[in-house]
């Protein structure tokens, strides 16, 4: 605790220290303990704290928005396909996921681990493409529509609604999106588990005290091979098209998208940080 006479002024440098990478999100909060003049009892110490201040290293929110807008223009020009099921493989089959849509791999990818590697991803080269299935037909009930878009039968025409970048989880450091400036706090963890035949997932989280502090094994747990296709924990970054505005970077769609619900812990924000 530091005592000061009235009208004293404290000046604290607000700049970031070296060692941060472009796009690293850094959080600061000021905590001040003080005593009023004439009060010496330790119980008379008062505390004030500021709100949490978020700063991007060598980057701004405006630069992030500009990068995502440029990314959207290129992704849309390449992947706005109404019938992607004819050329692209799906990771959950043809099942639409709630607030995510139907997940496809880019045309040049054949296996999930081809795109989820331990290398930092590069902008304009998404790991996954996300589409909304056909619209609900006139006279089709909500229940009928949900059943239709969550079975393993394609539902064209599709509409591109988003895309994703990924990297195998390294608990010690969040990824950098090469070629763009995106806040590192936008990355979240896609839990390890098995993709099931019905398009859902059975999660297999490792034992840990802090969420996201342990990388799941690269090979499936014993006895799980019959469940479906396994993938370990990965860093995930979802980008969503937003009609009339800049793309939105967040785990789920900024608009309702009906579909099969995955377990709530399938996506989570890791408590570990740089």
- Looking at the fold, whether 18 and 123 belong to one and the same domain comes out as no
- Looking at the fold, whether 130 and 20 belong to one and the same domain comes out as no
Q: Choose one of 13, 37, 58: the last residue of a domain.
A: 58
- Looking at the fold, whether 129 and 4 belong to one and the same domain comes out as no
- Looking at the fold, whether 124 and 52 belong to one and the same domain comes out as no
Q: What confidence score (pLDDT) does residue 1 get?
A: 43
- Looking at the fold, whether 218 and 202 belong to one and the same domain comes out as yes
H helical segments located in the chain = 61-79, 112-115, 142-149
- Looking at the fold, whether 189 and 204 belong to one and the same domain comes out as yes
Q: Evaluate whether residue 129 is within a structural domain.
A: yes
- Looking at the fold, whether 95 and 44 belong to one and the same domain comes out as no
pTM of the model: 0.82
Q: What confidence score (pLDDT) does residue 235 get?
A: 94
Terminal Cα distance for the chain, rounded: 28
Q: pLDDT tens digits, residue range 151-194? A: 999 999 999 999 999 999 999 888 889 888 788 889 999 999 99
Q: Evaluate whether residue 274 is within a structural domain.
A: no
- Looking at the fold, whether 32 and 78 belong to one and the same domain comes out as no
- Looking at the fold, whether 88 and 198 belong to one and the same domain comes out as yes
SS3 assignment for 128-179: EEEEECCCCCCCCCHHHHHHHHCCCCCCCCCEEEEEEEEEECCCCCCCCCEC
Domain count, the chain: 2
Q: What confidence score (pLDDT) does residue 58 get?
A: 67
Rg (CA), the chain: 23
Q: Evaluate whether residue 273 is within a structural domain.
A: no
DSSP bridge partners of 177: none
- Looking at the fold, whether 92 and 206 belong to one and the same domain comes out as yes
**Lowest mean pLDDT across 16-20, 79-83, 229-233:** 16-20
Q: pLDDT tens digits, residue range 90-114? A: 889 999 999 999 999 988 765 555 5
Domain that holds residue 242: 61-268
- Looking at the fold, whether 143 and 54 belong to one and the same domain comes out as no
How far apart, in whole angstroms, are the C-alpha atoms of residue 213 and residue 9? 41
Q: Choose one of 38, 58, 78: the last residue of a domain.
A: 58
- Looking at the fold, whether 176 and 158 belong to one and the same domain comes out as yes
Average pLDDT, the chain: 84
For the chain, percent of residues with pLDDT exceeding 70: 84
Q: Evaluate whether residue 136 is within a structural domain.
A: yes
């Amino acid at each position: 605790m530091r005592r000061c006479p009235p009208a004293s002024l404290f000046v604290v440098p607000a700049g970031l220290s070296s060692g941060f990478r472009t796009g690293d999100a850094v959080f600061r909060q000021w905590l001040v303990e003080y005593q009023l003049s004439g009060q010496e009892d330790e119980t008379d110490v008062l505390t004030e704290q500021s709100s949490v201040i978020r700063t991007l290293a060598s980057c701004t929110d405006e630069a992030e928005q500009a990068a995502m807008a440029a990314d959207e223009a290129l992704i849309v020009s390449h992947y706005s396909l109404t019938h992607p099921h004819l050329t692209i493989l799906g990771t959950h089959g043809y099942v639409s996921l709630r607030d995510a849509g139907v997940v496809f791999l880019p045309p040049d990818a054949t296996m999930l681990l081809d795109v989820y590697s331990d290398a930092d991803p590069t902008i304009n080269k998404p790991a996954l493409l996300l589409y909304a299935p056909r619209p609900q037909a006139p006279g089709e009930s909500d229940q009928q529509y949900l059943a239709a878009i969550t079975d393993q039968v394609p539902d064209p025409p599709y509409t591109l609604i988003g895309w994703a970048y990924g990297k195998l989880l390294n608990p010690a450091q969040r990824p950098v999106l090469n070629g763009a400036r995106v806040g590192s706090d936008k990355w979240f963890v896609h839990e390890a588990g098995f993709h099931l035949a019905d398009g859902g997932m059975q999660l297999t989280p490792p034992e840990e005290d802090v969420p996201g502090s342990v990388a799941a094994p690269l090979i499936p747990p014993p006895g799980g091979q019959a469940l479906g296709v396994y993938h370990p924990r990965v860093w995930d970054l979802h980008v969503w098209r937003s009609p009339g505005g800049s793309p939105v970077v967040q785990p789920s769609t900024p608009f309702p998208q009906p579909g099969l619900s995955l377990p709530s812990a399938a996506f989570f924000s890791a408590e570990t940080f740089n």
